[in-house]
């Protein structure tokens, strides 16, 4: 009898241990109305563990409202949210979340280090002081740790916001327009930070106007328009076919035939464009270059060509508009 | 734990924003002026001759109430203008976003702010009031009948006002909440004076103005209790019937029922604030 119970308990534990971890963010049917304006309408999506999801859309599409509903800052009229496997109504659901708001303002009478210490206390966690300082180093504020936040420039305050979002060792980081006040160098820093979070298995929800930024770091994208999900999917799914452009010299008949075998070929002077098949497994281009070199072709340049996310986004939004 | 963190943050804000220093300077000036005035009181030549030490003590007890009223006003304005920006201002500026996205309940954050403001307001009312009572003791030799009760009621008056300011701060803009709460504090005091005049004239309708205002906003009622604890018991007898109408004398100590009502009032307003703040979109 006792053995039976132990076996049952053991198998239940195995079952739970075998379950995939719940998504970092799961939301379903989110709806929010401000007066007569329907700001968010039936928005559902998930952010998987370790995934970087981009939230895109024009101004007023409801991106910030969605983020605020995920964090319990705005009460949805309808819909449900789970963060890191907990119902978002439970404040503890936010224990593993780091957040950089679009409107980043921190207590101006505190120093940068004090703001971080405050957030560590509010997150009910213990982070050694040296590690807290490390967050400031990460965002380039190492030498301003003791300075009053009130004296910081906007860009520095946004960097501090990034440190605040990262200081509590979050499992999920929500960044709302994280580069709005940053110069190109700062934007590159944020991109590197997001990539390093991804490398550490931290999930990131990124809302950004800068499509290039989203394209470089995101695994999947959700496009919002007028409060609704207009499109979603991985970048490959959204962007579809890929092309490669080659600048070649000394292309003879056999080489041209080899180019044609790789995909649909078009030519403009010394530039050859090959449209790759959808089921490309990533070796088509290197194999092609190896064979071309073997055939005595001089390869000056090989450039991937993709329909940019910007073009795709504009296409989706304009199509939406036309449909209305 | 979160409540304590927020309470300490609120106190730190008061110190760093120099509210504390400004209040300290203002209070020291007021205390010094009152000390100088009280030393001049004994041996003062009046139309009816030199004031005896007994008369001086009577006047001192009246003046003590007057000065403490000034201090309760400073405490009221100080806490109201601190409480105003605390919720509405932080929501408006965006400071609340980062804080409330942490694993904290909004009611806990509110409790922390309330505790911080309470410590600041009560600490000020009690310390400044005690300093004033000691100055009167040293200069004129007058010691109020129940100074501890008086100071506690002065502190309670501050708590009522800061709780009101927090409620207003959860629904209107920071500046409006400060102005409205100080305005209501003043209106309640004036209503109390009007009620006193009504009582001295035997006009029950006018007297009711004071009674109703003391129920709606207990600041003036608590202030009357505090005055009663500070004033010379002989003063009422000496002033006769007119004492009821005199705004710096109180003819009765507070009943337990009224103190209970003040506590219930604070709980109701606090609960309303927590409810409004919890439902508010940030």
Looking at CA atoms only, how far is residue B6 from chain A in angstroms?
9
Strand partners, A271: A247, A268
Selected residue with higher pLDDT from A313 and B15: B15
Average pLDDT over residues B65-77: 80
Q: How confident is the model at residue A264 (pLDDT cuts 50, 70, 90)?
A: confident
- Do B102 and A105 make contact, defined as CB atoms within 8 angstroms? no
- Examine the pLDDT at A5 and tell me if it is beyond 60: no
What are the b/e assignments for B32-59, b being 16+ CB within 10 Å? eebbeebeebbeeeeeeeebeeebbbbb
Helix/strand/coil for A27: strand
- Examine the pLDDT at B138 and tell me if it is beyond 50: yes
Residues of A in contact with B5 (CB under 8 A): 118, 121-122
Selected residue with higher pLDDT from B88 and B259: B259
pLDDT tens per residue across span B81-107: 778 778 888 888 899 999 999 999 999
Determine the angle formed by the axes of helices B147-171 and B106-140, rounding to 10 degrees.
150
Average pLDDT over residues B162-179: 85
Q: For residue A94, which phi and psi values (nearest 5 degrees)?
A: -90, 5
- Examine the pLDDT at A117 and tell me if it is beyond 80: yes
- Do A99 and B101 make contact, defined as CB atoms within 8 angstroms? yes
- Do B102 and A119 make contact, defined as CB atoms within 8 angstroms? yes
Q: Given CB atoms, is A71 within the 8 Å cutoff of chain B? A: yes
| Contact in structure between A139 and A112 (CB atoms under 8 Å) | no
The residue of chain B with its CA nearest to that of A91 is B103
The upper half-sphere exposure of residue A227, i.e. CA atoms within 13 Å in the direction of its Cβ, equals 15
ipTM for the whole complex? 0.85
pLDDT tens per residue across span A271-308: 998 888 767 677 888 899 999 999 999 999 998 876 77
Say how far apart CA A135 and CA A149 lie, in whole Å: 16
Looking at CA atoms only, how far is residue A230 from chain B in angstroms?
25
- Do B98 and A121 make contact, defined as CB atoms within 8 angstroms? no
Residues of B in contact with A81 (CB under 8 A): none
Say how far apart CA B124 and CA B134 lie, in whole Å: 15
- Looking at residue A9, what is its pLDDT? 54
Q: How confident is the model at residue B51 (pLDDT cuts 50, 70, 90)?
A: low
Average pLDDT over residues B244-260: 80
The residue of chain B with its CA nearest to that of A89 is B105
- Examine the pLDDT at A3 and tell me if it is beyond 60: no
- Examine the pLDDT at B146 and tell me if it is beyond 80: yes
Count of other CB atoms within 10 angstroms of residue A238? 19
- Examine the pLDDT at A113 and tell me if it is beyond 90: yes
- Examine the pLDDT at B207 and tell me if it is beyond 90: no
- Complete domains list, chain A, with CATH: 49-69+91-237 (3.40.50.300), 241-306 (3.30.70)
Say how far apart CA B274 and CA B266 lie, in whole Å: 12
* Highest mean pLDDT pick, A71-80, B135-144, B171-180, B229-238: A71-80
Say how far apart CA A72 and CA A46 lie, in whole Å: 17
Average pLDDT over residues A238-265: 85
- Looking at residue A2, what is its pLDDT? 46
pLDDT tens per residue across span A134-185: 999 999 999 999 999 999 999 999 999 999 999 999 999 999 999 999 999 9
Looking at CA atoms only, how far is residue A197 from chain B in angstroms?
20
Mean pLDDT of chain A: 88
Q: Given CB atoms, is A139 within the 8 Å cutoff of chain B? A: no
Rounded (5°) CA angle A160-A166-A167: 85
Residues of A in contact with B102 (CB under 8 A): 94, 119, 122-123
Rounded (5°) CA angle B276-B279-B282: 105
β B45-46/B49-50 pair status = antiparallel
- Examine the pLDDT at A207 and tell me if it is beyond 60: yes
Q: Given CB atoms, is B99 within the 8 Å cutoff of chain A? A: yes
- Examine the pLDDT at A4 and tell me if it is beyond 70: no
- Examine the pLDDT at A314 and tell me if it is beyond 70: yes
Mean pLDDT of chain B: 85
Q: How confident is the model at residue B243 (pLDDT cuts 50, 70, 90)?
A: low
- Examine the pLDDT at B47 and tell me if it is beyond 90: no
- Looking at residue B8, what is its pLDDT? 95
Task: Kindly state the percentage of chain B with pLDDT values over 70.
Answer: 93
pLDDT tens per residue across span A27-84: 999 999 998 899 999 999 999 999 999 999 888 889 999 999 999 999 999 999 999 9
- Examine the pLDDT at B19 and tell me if it is beyond 90: no
- Examine the pLDDT at B157 and tell me if it is beyond 80: yes
**For testing the chain B interface, which of A67, A107, A148, A164 should be mutated: the one with the most B CBs within 10 Å?**
A107
Q: Which residue has the tokens 């209070």?
A: B27
**For testing the chain B interface, which of A34, A109, A171 should be mutated: the one with the most B CBs within 10 Å?**
A109
For A99, the closest of B95, B98, B279 (CB atoms) is: B98
Looking at CA atoms only, how far is residue B93 from chain A in angstroms?
7
Q: How confident is the model at residue B204 (pLDDT cuts 50, 70, 90)?
A: confident
β A86-87/A37-47 pair status = unpaired
Query: Domain limits of chain B?
Result: 2-279
Looking at CA atoms only, how far is residue B272 from chain A in angstroms?
18
């Amino acid at each position: 009898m006792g053995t039976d119970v132990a076996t049952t308990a053991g198998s239940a534990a195995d079952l739970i241990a075998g379950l995939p971890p719940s998504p970092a963010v799961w939301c379903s049917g989110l709806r929010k109305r401000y007066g007569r304006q329907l700001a968010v309408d039936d928005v559902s999506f998930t952010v998987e563990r370790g995934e970087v999801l981009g939230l895109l859309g024009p101004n007023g599409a409801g991106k910030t409202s969605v983020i605020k509903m995920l964090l319990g800052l705005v009460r949805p009229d309808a819909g449900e949210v789970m963060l890191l496997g907990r119902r978002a109504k439970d404040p503890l659901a936010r224990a593993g979340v780091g957040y950089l708001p679009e409107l980043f303002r921190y207590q101006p009478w505190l120093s940068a280090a004090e703001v971080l210490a405050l957030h560590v206390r509010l997150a009910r966690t213990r982070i050694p002081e040296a590690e807290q300082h490390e967050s400031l180093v990460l965002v380039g504020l190492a030498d301003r740790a003791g300075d009053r936040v009130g004296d910081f420039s906007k860009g520095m305050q946004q960097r501090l916001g990034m440190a605040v979002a990262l200081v509590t060792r979050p499992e999920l980081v929500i960044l709302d327009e994280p580069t709005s006040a940053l110069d190109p160098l700062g934007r590159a820093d944020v991109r590197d930070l997001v990539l390093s979070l991804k490398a550490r298995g931290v999930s990131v929800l990124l809302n950004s106007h800068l499509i290039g930024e989203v394209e470089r770091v995101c695994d999947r994208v959700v496009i919002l328009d007028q409060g609704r999900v207009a499109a979603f999917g991985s970048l490959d799914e959204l962007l579809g076919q890929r092309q490669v452009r080659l600048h070649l010299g000394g292309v003879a008949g056999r080489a041209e035939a080899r180019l044609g075998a790789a995909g649909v070929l078009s030519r403009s002077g010394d530039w050859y464009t090959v449209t790759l098949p959808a089921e490309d497994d990533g070796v088509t281009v290197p194999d092609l270059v190896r064979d071309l070199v073997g055939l005595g072709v001089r390869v000056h340049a090989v450039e991937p060509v993709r329909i940019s996310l910007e073009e795709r986004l504009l296409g989706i939004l304009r199509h939406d508009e036309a449909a209305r | 734990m979160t409540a304590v963190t927020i309470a300490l943050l609120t106190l730190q804000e008061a110190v760093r924003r120099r509210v504390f220093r400004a209040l300290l300077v203002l209070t020291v000036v007021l205390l010094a002026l009152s000390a100088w005035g009280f030393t001049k009181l004994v041996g003062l030549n009046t139309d009816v001759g030199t004031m005896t030490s007994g008369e001086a003590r009577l006047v001192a007890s009246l003046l003590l109430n007057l000065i403490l009223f000034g201090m309760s006003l400073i405490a009221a304005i100080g806490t109201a203008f601190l409480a105003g920006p605390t919720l509405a201002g932080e929501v408006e500026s965006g400071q609340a976003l980062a804080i409330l996205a942490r694993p904290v309940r909004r009611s806990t954050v509110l409790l922390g702010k309330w505790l911080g403001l309470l410590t600041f307001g009560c600490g000020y009312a009690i310390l400044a009031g005690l300093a004033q009572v000691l100055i009167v003791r040293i200069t004129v030799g007058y010691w109020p009948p129940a100074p501890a009760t008086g100071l506690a009621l002065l502190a309670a008056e501050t708590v009522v006002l800061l709780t009101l300011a927090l409620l207003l701060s959860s629904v209107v803009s920071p500046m409006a909440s400060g102005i409205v709460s100080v305005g209501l504090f003043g209106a309640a005091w004036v209503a109390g004076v009007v009620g006193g005049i009504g009582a001295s004239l035997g006009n029950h309708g006018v007297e009711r103005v004071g009674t109703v205002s003391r129920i709606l906003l207990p600041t003036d009622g608590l202030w009357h209790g505090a005055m009663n604890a500070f004033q010379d018991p002989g003063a009422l007898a000496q002033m006769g019937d007119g004492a009821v109408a005199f705004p710096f004398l109180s003819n009765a100590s507070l009943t337990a029922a009224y103190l209970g009502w003040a506590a219930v009032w604070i709980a109701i307003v606090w609960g309303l604030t927590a409810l409004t703040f919890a439902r508010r979109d940030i």
